Amino acid sequence: MNAGRRLEGKTALVTGAGSGIGKAIALTFAREGATVMLAGRRAEPLDAVKQEVEALGGTAHVRPADVAVQAQAQALVDAAKAELGRIDVLVNNAGKTFDGLILRMKWDGLDEALAINLKSVFYMCAAAGKVMLAQKGGAIVNVSSVVALTGNAGQSAYVAAKAGVIGLTKSLAQEFSSRGIRVNAIAPGFIDTQMTQALPDAVKQTYLGRIPLGRFGSPDDVAGVAAFLASDAAAYLTGQVLAVDGGLHMG
């Protein structure tokens, strides 16, 4: 295997692939030789990423879906199996931040936070897990957050959901291991995306002062770790949580 093409011949399904970290993961996987299926709620950004994949000489398929809805998550996996032939890698990246103090929380907001950030991962892992069990192999990479390890005032719903992703990752690593399926998680720290760019400068400077490496991360920083976890180079890793955070959390 070419050392620069660690995912040569593999197929990968990436959720939340239209922008930010998901887009970077899809492009990195394509550079590494994988055929990718791009999933997200809107077709237009996925089509744009598909064009970038093809410009790299890669192959991509597009399937819009809201993975917070169980039937759509199942249909997405069915389409991926049909179009790709098999699913070697699943990356659960779809997510959305939710801010609000618990004493002011609207409970429908809590339901939405859990559906988008946690229940979607259950749905996707269950559906893709059946495919991987039949294949007797595969790799699942769940994107959590560093706040799941540290907590964060004013984000209790989001933090709880992302912490649930870590617990689910560890449990599924045990459930799926006998069939050669590895399940790991990434906990990104402060990553420079459109979402974080909108924060006030004072808030960004406060975070920057807490990061030992002295810079914010890029989506490519996360994508490189995702490619490693998806590859055979990580063949003896399962149930692990890798904090890609510049040292923000050291635990």
Q: Kindly list the catalytic residues.
A: 158
What torsion do the CA atoms of 11, 240, 212, 204 make, to the nearest 10 degrees? 60
Angle, vertex CA 231, rays to CA 225 and CA 234, nearest 5: 75
Distance CA 207, CA 226 (A): 24
- DSSP, collapsed to helix, strand or coil, labels residue 79 as helix
Distance CA 22, CA 140 (A): 14
Give yes or no for a contact between 19 and 194, defined as CB atoms under 8 angstroms apart.
yes
Angle, vertex CA 190, rays to CA 186 and CA 194, nearest 5: 105
Q: Would you give the distance in Å from CA 188 to the centre of its chain?
A: 10
Edge to edge, the sheet with strand 138-143 lists 60-64, 35-40, 11-14, 89-92, 138-143, 181-188, 241-244
